[in-house]
Amino acid sequence: IITFVLVDFSEIIDFFSSVGNMGGISNRWMKSIMQITSICFLGQWGIQLCRDAGENSIADKMETAIKILVLIICLPYINMLFEMANNLC
């Protein structure tokens, strides 16, 4: 199943890259969006495996770790938003 999904995953990456290029979105933004999406999908898959195995405490810890990873990836963009808001004042 994973091999089947990974083959199609390259098409998804190409699609998002072409949409980003058409919209004038920098590759930095698209890379972050793909990282966050990948972390969320793979993390949810791991969490569900833990819950299916009856390991709810591990699943909860994984869920927290995923949220922290997404926050870390988003920090530069949050900082940019605050700088833009500060420049407007």
pTM of the model: 0.70
Tens of pLDDT, residue by residue over 35-62, are 888 889 889 999 999 999 999 999 999 9
Alpha carbons within 13 A on the beta-carbon side of 75: 6
Provide the token pair at 70: 């997404």
Q: Could you tell me which residues come within 8 angstroms of residue 16 by beta carbon, excluding any fewer than 6 positions away?
A: 30, 33, 34
% residues pLDDT > 70 (the chain):
93
Distance of CA 41 to the CA centre of its chain: 8
Q: What is the largest CA-CA distance in the chain?
A: 53
On the question of pLDDT at 2 being above 70, the answer is no
